[in-house]
Amino acid sequence: MKKSFLLIAACAISILASAQIFEILSIEHLPAASFEDARVAGISPAGDYILLTTGTTKGLQRYDLQTGKITTLSRATNAGFDVKISKSGNEIAFTERTFHPGKEAITKTISANLKNNTKSVLGKRVAVNTPIALHNEDGLMYVEQNGQRRLLAPFGTEDKIYIWTSLSPDNSKVCYYLSGHGCYVCNLDGSNNTFIGEDCRAAQWYNNNTLVAMHDTDDGHFITAASIVAYTLNGKVQVLTSPDMIAMYPYAAQGKIAFSTIEGKTYLITVK
């Protein structure tokens, strides 16, 4: 009996050890970046600022993690949806949608240069100065590379909806959520399609091998629980937040993971 107990304990320790992806150094509440219906919309590659929007993606604000200063980039509808940040962190691209009675909505793509404090109007789709761009439009994925735009649909297009798409930092892999099925990662050509998890939602890349996502549950009407969870491509899983908060929509940079709660509180996890 004693040997059996020791064997079970050893197995439990082994499982726990294999599940650890990060060492959590701190989880910090950011009061200045918290407001009613606040939602994190991005974090800079260097981890020096967070982008904030609302649950309806209206407006876009930049929160400086060093100074605590908040700068409003846009007050428009849709500004917080599918925001792109350049690798330098100096340029942010987002869309603005305006409505006029009796007319079709007008959508503009805006490029905000944080270094020069200037804005300019781009083409129809959100893009930044990168060799490869990933777009999610009307439930489908598109990759732009070398001036060519092509559809990426590992499961085909009939009755399939692809959401929560993101490109790995080295531009070699795509993470997406197939509605009704779960989260997958594939190569840029759709090959090596790998299932990550059914409950891995709104996943974002931490590095080329690790994703952070939310695992939420609901009662059919309202979200009742949600945690921030890390996943590796080789199958490790680690829950990063406690069950006493409803934590949603994470974004990651090296050493930092930002997320917001259902009440609109913004938090920053420091990891190594």
Reported as a pLDDT band with limits 50, 70 and 90, residue 172 is very high
Q: Closest by alpha carbon to 48, among 34, 20, 68?
A: 68
Find the range with the poorest average confidence among 121-130, 225-234, 256-265.
121-130
Edge to edge, what strands does the sheet with 118-121 contain? 84-85, 91-98, 106-113, 118-121
Q: Closest by alpha carbon to 114, among 62, 162, 157, 166?
A: 62
- For the stretch 116-160, pLDDT in tens is 888 888 765 555 656 678 888 889 999 988 878 899 999 999 999
Checking if the pLDDT of 9 tops 60, the result is no
Question: What is the pTM (predicted TM-score) of this model?
Answer: 0.86
Q: Which residue has the higher pLDDT, 113 or 131?
A: 113
d(CA 81, CA 151): 20
The pLDDT value given to residue 16: 37
Phi, psi of 195 (to 5 degrees): -80, 130
Helix ranges restricted to H, the chain: 2-19
Give me the chain's average pLDDT, please. 88
Checking if the pLDDT of 234 tops 70, the result is yes
Checking if the pLDDT of 7 tops 50, the result is no
Checking if the pLDDT of 68 tops 60, the result is yes
Reported as a pLDDT band with limits 50, 70 and 90, residue 220 is confident
Checking if the pLDDT of 13 tops 50, the result is no
241 and 264 in contact (C-beta within 8 Å)? no
The pLDDT value given to residue 123: 60
- For the stretch 180-207, pLDDT in tens is 999 999 999 999 999 999 999 999 999 9
Checking if the pLDDT of 2 tops 80, the result is no
